[in-house]
Chains A and B, each alone.
Chain A
Amino acid sequence: MKTIKTIIAFLAIVFTISCEDRLEVVPEDNVASSTVFSSLETINGLVVGIYSKNQSGDLNGNPQLISEFMSDNVNFVGSFPSLQEIDQYETLATNVTIDNTWFDGYELIAAANNVIQNLPDVSTEDVTGLTEDMKTTFIAEAKFLRALTYFQLVNLFAQPFQFSAGTNLGVPIVTAFFEGGDISEFQLERSTVNEVHTFIEQDLLDAAAALPEDNGTRAEAGSARALLARLYLYREQWAQAADLANQVISSGEYTLASDYDFYDDNPNSSEHIFVTINTPTDGPQEAAGSDEVYVNFFNPAPGGRGDAPFSQNLIDAFAAEAGDRRFDELSQAASDAGGNNTFFTTKYPDIVNNASDGMVLRITEMYLIRAEANLRNGSSVGDSPLNDINLLRNRAGLANLGSVDLAAISLERRKELCFEGHRRMDLLRNNLNLRPGGGPESAPGADKVIFPIVDDEINNNPNITQNPGNF
């Protein structure tokens, strides 16, 4: 009997010990934070994940759409109340569209911060296949995407640099990844626009230095320099803007496409510096919020909603000089959601798969930046403003101009980049009313040409400051 008792006790102890080991269960359909940095595949996956977040319609889609209809390029006829609010300069802090943009922006930043903060500590000895070069590139990609997103947020939620030379409030700068601890580190005050711009500049300088010149369709050195050129343009740092744009143009990585087929799911075109690539097999981009926006809003029915046709002002601008291929080849006549006969852009043509790409940075913009910066700076870094503009006009089937001024460059910029989300900032930074003949509500510096800080942020962050205006 004693033997039996001993055996029972022994079995119990053995069983107890072996059971406790089994309580450590590993998820099979998620990657745990404890293991996500332990293989090259998942580390690369973390970086791909940032690109994936960038596909969200609330970061690449809605901001561009809104930029076009808040200004004079698009006559918004859609029925979504949150977009109507914005269209009428009555945006409230509870607006769901901007709420999603705020959330998605900081979700992307969190995903990037995770890589930037934690990847440097990962030893290449512990991860098969990982090299220091790869680490550098991954971190640089994360910095590029983080900078792109901060730039988008500061452009939407803060007055531009011109408002008060960048001393006004921008957006909070988060650099840490939330790992479940204290939330007070994430209840930050807003930094000034200058501080945000400096932060973006540093990220882009780091990225430009570390990224390869050619990185397939992922961010490369030219992407960082191109965005930096845009930042300097917005900040009126003309010399740097011209220099950076020139660096991109002369890098040899990108050339003006001979025609406009780069809009049609062609991310490898030499035109592109950085594209948000949407593919038919993408699936949902996020659990909540908007998926692909471009195709849906910019196309007439069937295939799209028909909410965002050309404005009459833009039609007139093209009509003033006939034969512009950018109108003839990139528009279609159709009736809009309100039943009016008008024109729609064909820059987002993939109505079958609902997966047209988002134009983020392309070489044409670099020519436009170089031209404008040179003109304003009285310089001709790379080439003269006149030559740069004529290059673009020639591709559009238009005759050479004999001379250019700022208005001519701005018009060219508008015709090239319409429906790509530049117009609102171009008007605001040039101190022009967003609407032709518009009132004080759409004038530069008006409270609601920018968005309020969203309610969810106000409610959960005691240190945040709301923008002026009745929100």
Chain B
Amino acid sequence: MLFLMGIFSAFAQQKNVSGVVTDFEGLPLPGVNILVKGTITGTQSDFDGNYIIQANEGDVLVFSYIGQKTVERTVGASNTINVQMDQDTQALEEVVVIGYGNQEERKIIQNVGIVKEEAIENLQVVSADQLLQGQSAGTQIVNASGVLGSAAVIRVRGVNSINSGSQPLIVIDGVPITDSQNTLNRGGNTGINPLSYVNPNDIASLTVLKDAGATSIYGSRGANGVILITTKKGRRNSATTVTLDVNTQYSESTDVPDILTADEFRQFKSEVATLQNGTPTSPEDLGLGAIGSGGTDWLGGVQRTGISQNYNLGVRGGSEKTSFFFGLDYQNTEGFIIGNDQQRAGARINIDTDVNSWLKAGMNLGITNNRLARVFVENEIDAPFTTAFLQSPVVRAFDDEGNFLQSGSFIPNIFARVALDTRELKTFRVIGNAFTEVTPFEGVTWRSEFGVDWLSTEETTREAAFNTPGGLAQVVSVREERWLTNQTLNYSPSIGEDHNLNLLLGLNYEETLRTRLNVSSTGFLTDGLRNLGSGSTPTVLNGDRFPTRLFGLFSRATYDYKGKYIVEGSIRRDGSSRFGANNRFGYFWSAAAGWTLSEEDFIKDLNFFDFLSLRASIGTVGNDRLGTFPSLGLFNAGAIADNNAESGVIPNQPENSDLKWEESETLDVGLKSTFLNGRITFNASYFKKTTRDLLLNQVLPPLTGFVSISRNVGEMENTGWEFELNTVNVQSENFQWRTSFNLTTIDNTVLRLNEDATTDAQGRRIIDGAIQRAIEGESLNNFFLIRYVGVNSQTGDAEWLDVNGNITNNPGSGDRVVTGSPLPDFSGGITNTITYKNFDLSFLMNYSYGNDIVIDGLRFADGNDAIGGIVNIRRQNLNYWRQPGDNAFLPSPTSSTFNLFNQRSDQQQLDGSYLRLKNITLGYSLPQSTLDRLGGVFSGIRLYATATNLFTIKGDELDGIDPEVTDDIDPLFQGESFFTAPQAKSYSFGARIQF
């Protein structure tokens, strides 16, 4: 029908209408949407603001552009309509996504970090969390390693839990996604990144909910912060655009330590042995082969230049009633570590339509299929980087015919491991929701959402007989399904011009079921027999299901008077199957108030501020990451409980029906300002977050027959400042330069540990680890190590400090003191965006200052005796003490401290401060004239080149060591690494074509 009408109207007096669209200053405005009202006919203005559209006399043209007031013009006799658009006086009235709703940015009194589409559209990243890096104050992201798929450690306002996980809740289009560790631990307790299943190109914006005012609506899951991801939607009343983005990326490692070659290794070992034995000892005497007899460059051999291809297609558009976005995505990524690559294919469809005046319906659906060839991350003999560092360079990898050789020690021939073994992870994930929105009468909206997060992983391991006699196959198959519904009722009564009230009532129910099957099999006749059934001894390692359910009721009320005084309150009641029977329901609340000072006359009179507001909030949120049945008394069944082929059960976990969520109370105070005609925006906030009822494992007296019980006993506090400064440095017709800068400080204090916790010499309760120690009254994370002084230039002995600060040559564990902290004094990011004519250049830097890192692997890579002296070492070890006056790295080989040198001490603790050029992108958009010459098919072509991790400013002692690594997401192990593979340095070149 519509089609027929289209034809009919085409026979009417259709003509070309053209003109120029300019902004309020008269500068041409490109990209303005122009639509014939009531039709799907539309166009966009070109780079010079010109447009041309077919319309009939009497038609209404609608001109719309973000930040400008929409203009409507009726087509008259003239064929020319020039439009000057007016800046939307409420430019800040951009709508941002918050928990269970939207709000005008100007009126938000919650503390949220917003990363808008403009900030990320030109970033080329492998996974979505990298979009957040350095972009938002209070959000710290440490990429675990350069191994593909490894999870980043994401912290919103620091660590708020000790045992229950500190990762924020991630919500994609209203669906809180699962982030259980469903894969095998491949060295480094970081697991697979839950965000690696989301196509970054589909993401329109990210909102980080930080204070209780923002997060308490997520109740028992909000304590670690919430990250809301909104995927791209279509645009109403706009012409359909097709964007094709194609790029190729080359990646290599950022930094690797300098280690010895085979001959250097032989020379060093022979020199040391000669000195120690007092008689000349040759490398042959040591069984290392003669100088010049060859060896293997293991570290070189595990690296490569990874070549990756990305293809991304987005189709976006909409009519008056319907808007849509389709996305297609294919990534073939090759890591810079041998054996590590990933193929991801994804599709997305987001569509919504107005069925009639009171009903709207739509659906957001993303599907990803992923295949990842995994390598071990670190501290595992199968981890390419760890093993390549440690393997002796004199060990040969291949015989003369090129066949793999066994290494002869427990450190394997890593080339053979990677080449012959298979470790493949296949993932299929669907995240989506369908919704209806009913507006029964003005001011009331009932939104009904049904969402799903369906994750299926299958991890296959097949170890070859060369590496594992008899071979080994293992399949871990996990399915994690979450079904949920959100029902919200929104009520905005009109109660006069000056009063704005918004009421939200909602309900949220989720069911999650995780099913796991883990089977291994050994005894394979040949490597050609690939699968479980062909091994002689299959074993079921796990076969279990973990169901959880959550039911929440929530409400939020927001009121403002003339946009000047704003108050907001929210409450949520959460029931969870995880909580103990006595604490099944938790109540979480928040209250916030804001004052828009710039609406007051006394500020207006200053004629300085464009916008100025103060806000404060207080409230509570919970952390429900307690496991599946943490409160029940449980008995184990299976092989562990049987006797003489009879099945039995044995006690496993004592009952704790009082068990409940960890609860955080946050106070947040903030200021937002814009001045100098919008040139400068400055926001600051302070927060104090106290987490109570921290879940700690209380050790039980052995007479109970149990080892420990989880109880809500601990207390911890995080305080911090967050600053954001955005400036428009230059704004002219051809040249624009904007800078945004953010800085975060966080102080952590453990207020209380369990009463039966171990105490230190001062009687303070502690949680002790080999490297770190959490101390009651101090930060959760302290490096607690022996202090290393250096090599005495006169004696050639290594020297440490004892607990009293006196020099010692033989320190013990009692000499450990607090030596540093993995928590930075401040961290953040800086982004600069420069456009000059058709060129754009942006560079994003992130930084961290004042934190220490401990590279535990240096205990092996330094010194002479680790693992019996068979391992390779860093080049600085060649600088051993020879004579008085030497300023040596390594003590004298004849010193009694020579083999103590590399014991665990702050010698392995390094200053982790850095400033890194995370991303630099140079783009060039073809001018309209060129596009015209190409036949007008294309509405835009942008060519770009991106480099990531191009350079890093860091201390000299970090030579060869990437400061931005961590090997564990456990809050108690932050800033520690063994030999985590460094981040990738990559260069990519691509084109984005729009038509």
Interface residues of A (CB under 8 A from B): 1, 4-5, 8, 12, 15-16, 19-20, 22-25, 27-34, 36, 42, 44-55, 102-103, 106-111, 113-114, 172, 174, 177-180, 183, 186-188, 217, 267, 277, 279, 281-287, 454, 456-457, 459-461
Contacts and interface: CB of A to CB of B under 8 A. Distances in A.
B635 A454 contact: no
Cβ-closest 8 pairs across A and B: A110-B705, A283-B639, A33-B633, A48-B648, A178-B704, A51-B643, A49-B648, A180-B655
A28 B634 contact: no
Nearest to A216: B644
B549 A25 contact: yes
A29 B544 contact: yes
Contacts of A177: 705
Given A20-B551, A27-B628, A54-B643, 6 more contacts: A15-B507, A33-B655, A51-B646, A174-B703, A178-B654, A186-B703
Contacts of B679: none
23 contacts: A16-B507, A20-B551, A23-B551, A27-B629, A29-B544, A30-B652, A32-B633, A32-B635, A45-B635, A46-B648, A48-B647, A51-B643, A51-B644, A102-B702, A106-B704, A172-B703, A180-B655, A180-B656, A183-B704, A186-B700, A282-B639, A457-B701, A457-B703
Given A106-B702, A183-B704, A188-B703, A281 B633 contact: no
Contacts of B584: 23
Given A8-B489, A23-B549, A53-B650, A279 B644 contact: yes
Residue from A20, A54, A178 having most chain B Cβ neighbours under 10 A:
A178
Nearest to A33: B633
Nearest to B706: A178
B489 A461 contact: no
Given A31-B649, A110-B704, A461-B701, A281 B639 contact: yes
B477 to A, nearest CB: 16
Contacts, number: 202
B647 to A, nearest CB: 6
Contacts of A279: 644-645
Contacts of A282: 639, 642
Nearest to B578: A25
A460 B697 CA distance: 14
Interface residues of B, number: 60
A4 to B, nearest CB: 5
Contacts of B438: 4
A52 B648 contact: yes
Contact of A29 (B487, B545, B639, B701): B545
Contacts of B636: 30
A102 B553 CA distance: 49
B626 interface: no
B410 interface: no
B471 interface: no
Nearest to A454: B702
A159 to B, nearest CB: 21
A20 B549 CA distance: 10
Nearest to B700: A183
A60 to B, nearest CB: 12
A52 B640 contact: yes
B441 A110 contact: no
B641 interface: yes
Contacts of B702: 102-103, 106, 454, 456-457, 460-461
A277 B549 contact: no
A34 B438 CA distance: 45
Contact of B655 (A12, A23, A42, A179): A179
B548 interface: yes
Interface string B466-495: 000000000000000000000101000000
Interface in B665-713: 699-707, 709
Contact of B634 (A33, A107, A188): A33
B448 to A, nearest CB: 10
Contacts of A178: 654, 700, 704-706
B657 A180 contact: yes
Contact of B577 (A23, A107, A172): A23
B139 interface: no
Contacts of B709: 180
Contacts of A106: 702-705
Residue from B547, B647, B653 having most chain A Cβ neighbours under 10 A:
B647
B705 A52 contact: no
Contacts of B641: 45, 48-49, 52
Given A25-B547, A457-B702, A114 B651 contact: yes
A19 B657 CA distance: 21
Given A29-B637, A30-B636, A45-B637, A51 B648 contact: yes
B509 interface: yes
B440 interface: yes
Contacts of B446: 8
Residue from A48, A50, A186 having most chain B Cβ neighbours under 10 A:
A48
B111 interface: no
Contacts of A454: 702
A223 to B, nearest CB: 15
B440 A4 contact: yes
Contacts of A32: 629, 632-635
A43 to B, nearest CB: 10
Contact of A111 (B440, B551, B705): B705
Contacts of A50: 648, 650
Nearest to B506: A12
A108 B545 CA distance: 28
A260 B731 CA distance: 99
Contact of B640 (A110, A180, A286, A461): A286
Interface string B13-26: 00000000000000
Residue from B441, B637, B645, B648 having most chain A Cβ neighbours under 10 A:
B648
B176 interface: no
B58 interface: no
Contacts of B637: 29-31, 45
Contacts of B699: 456, 459-460
Nearest to B653: A30
B804 to A, nearest CB: 26
B811 interface: no
Contacts of B655: 33, 179-180
A166 B784 CA distance: 48
Given A1-B441, A179-B655, A36 B577 contact: no
Nearest to B584: A23
A48 B628 contact: no
Contacts of A24: 577
A343 B400 CA distance: 47
B633 A460 contact: no
Contacts of B628: 27
Contacts of B706: 107, 110, 178
Residue from B634, B638, B651 having most chain A Cβ neighbours under 10 A:
B651
Contact of A179 (B633, B635, B650, B703): B633
Nearest to B444: A5
Contacts of B704: 106, 110, 174, 178, 183, 186
B963 interface: no
Contact of A283 (B545, B629, B638): B638
A42 B701 contact: no
Nearest to B646: A48
Nearest to A453: B702
B575 interface: yes
B323 interface: no
B756 interface: yes
A461 B652 CA distance: 21
B643 A46 contact: no
B576 interface: yes
A27 B644 contact: no
A287 B651 contact: no
A454 B643 CA distance: 28
B492 to A, nearest CB: 16
Nearest to A30: B634
Given A22-B551, A46-B649, A103 B707 contact: yes
